[in-house]
Each structure stands twice: as structure tokens, then as C-alpha cells.
Amino acid sequence: MTQTLPTKNHQRLQLSALNIPIRLLLGPGPSNAHPDVLKAMNTPSVGHLDPAFLTLMDEIQSLLRYVWQTENPLTIAVSGTGSAAMEATIANAIEPGDVVLIGVAGYFGHRLVDMAGRYGADVRIITKPWGQIFSLEELQSAIATHHPTIVALVHAETSTGARQPLEGVSELCRQHGSLLLVDSVTSMGGVPLYLDEWGIDLAYSCSQKGLGCPPGASPFTMSPRAIEKLLSRQTKVANWYLDMNLLSKYWGKERTYHHTAPINLYYALRESLRLIAEEGIENSWERHQNNAEYLWQGLEDLGMTLHVEEQYRLPTLTTVRIPEGIDGKAVARELLLEENVEIGGGLGELGGKVWRIGLMGYNSRKENVDKLLEVLGKKVKG
């Protein structure tokens, strides 16, 4: 049905009913959501202070703790995308003048640098080529040199497909009184991650990747050590909307109104987390690893080269080098428009050099790998 709408100059726009194509989303995110998650999102809304909704918020917190393997009381979903959860972490953890050491080995390390600088941090940077990781020895040297208040690392660098090992890093941080901040946007739900065991103080993620939920409700957590720092601030958190002093009262026992939560997105997040708990987090990690290895082998069988050394590859996001003589952007566009299959191009230093292939959440299935290898093979084989 076509509808006529007024515009500022009193002309009329002819708009038909919404009609969006169905795509298989195998790029860096978002990923497709499980049908049960989409069904949950279509549940009629209740008020954001309704007792039923407050119970659902409690369930989300418990499920997030399970998936992240943490007991942190302050574990919530930020009303916003993963970048909002990233900014919430920076805004609450950093005061002007704090020395923040950031590992940059890709696009999202640079984003951390930008955000931390905006909140007045004294930013110190260590770098590696895109697709490589930092060794414990490199981190130990940098921490001993800079004595940072916070050490920030990207666990799963979405721009490169590399997984930064985190075991042992918190011990180095504690030797110098530093907090450990971790970006788990592309790892939560699909890559082994033990926040408490690994001593991670601050972490954030998103809903639309390994959790298999639409974007807009993003996990955030603070350890008791991080909360100590928050409570001893000499200045107010500069971002009102993301101030955990206020948000914790909405998510906590007080249930003090702060903002109108994205109610239906929280329905979806709760359902996506329930499905992970039903599968078992270890089983989810194993499924992602098995399907990624199946993809890697298939890409190599097509004569293609993977960008990251195997032991450091993400099972959720694979970077594969675009073969010589092939227009990577044109191929990705053809897959999207002709086959309804989305893959991503490279960012930053890897722009035009790699494709980024995501197997995350509900999309991490063997039949999706088969479909991708079939349609991509036609393009690279000719």
C-alpha cells in the first residue's frame, strides 16, 4: 500500500510499506538473530518500571554474568550500541590526567585512543601491525615504563580478526596498581572469556554479534576494584546518560528512574542470552571454533590466504586476503545484490586488502559456511 506524506514545502512523498530484503549477514556485524529472538522483540511493550520488566532486567544481569563468567554485581546492558558501552567504560573509569595505556593493533584500538583523549586521559600507546597481538613481555615492559592507571586492550579486534591473549595480563596490571579494561565486542558469546579468572576489571560488548541479537542493548561490567575507583572520583562522570552512579540505581535495588529503556530490545537480549545458557557457554564457544575451522579450510581450498596466524585467529571474525587482480569491493557488492549474502571489506590499513567474514551467534552454522564458500568460490575461481 502506498501512503502520501506531507513535506516542508507541502509537496507529497509517495511511500510504499516497508520492504527490506532478507540477507544472510556474514560480515563483521550485525549478524542474523535467531527466530525466537525476533519473536521476543515483537512482544508488546510494558513500562520501563513495570514489575515484569524489572524482573526481566534482573534476568539479563544474571545471564550476562554467566556468559562473561563473572560475579560482578554491576553488570548491565547499556541502552545503546557497542560504541555506547565503550564510551560508558571510558567515561566512568577515566578522570582527567589519568595515564591510560592502550594497545593499538587495529581500528578499534584507535577508537579507544580517541575516546580516552576526549575524557582528558594522558594517553600512552603501544602498537603492533594490524593482525598481530601483544606478547606478555611487550605488555610487561610498557606497563613498567608508563605506570598506567588503566591498561586497555581489544580482546577481539574486529578490523583484523586477531584475538589478543589475556591470560596473565591482570597480574602485570596489579603489580603497578592498574585496572585492566577489555573490549569484548566481537568475542562475547563466541570466544572463551573468563572475566573473573583473568582479572578483568572493565569490559563491554554489543548485542548484535556473538550474542545473536539486534543492535542497541550492550553489555557492560565493572569489577569491585573498578567501582572503588568510580566512587573515589574527584570529578563527576562527564557523560550524564552513561554515568554508572545513576544507572546502577535503575538496575539495582533502588529502581530509580533514569531513562526509558529500549524495552523490546531488552526482550530480545534476554531471549538471546537464554538461548546461549540453554546451549551452554562452553558449547557455544566450541560451535564457533568448529565452524570457523571449517570456514578456514574451505577458504584455503579455494586457494585463498588468511591474514592472521592460526593460533590468534578469532572464531567469530575471519580476515581473508583478497586475491590479486580481484576488485574486493565489487565482489562484496555482487554477493549482496545477487546472492543476498553480506561480507565486509577491510578497514583502515587493511582497506581494499581483505574481506571480513563473520560467523557469530545464530549465524555460526555449517550450512552458512557452505553457502558462502559456494557463492564466493564462483567469484574467485571465475
Select from 143, 161, 150, 159 the least CA-distant residue to 200: 150
Measured torsion, CA atoms of residues 186, 187, 190, 194, in degrees rounded to the nearest 10: -160
C-alpha distances in Å from residue 339, one per residue of 329, 336, 374: 15, 6, 10
Select from 366, 362, 316 the least CA-distant residue to 34: 362
Task: Give dist(CA 133, CA 300) in Å, integer.
Answer: 23
Which H helix or E strand runs over 90? helix 82-93
Task: Give dist(CA 280, CA 355) in Å, integer.
Answer: 30
Residue 255 among known ligand-binding residues: no
Contact 93, 202 (CB under 8 A): yes
For the chain, first and last CA: distance in Å?
42
Binding positions:
356
Binding positions for substrate:
356
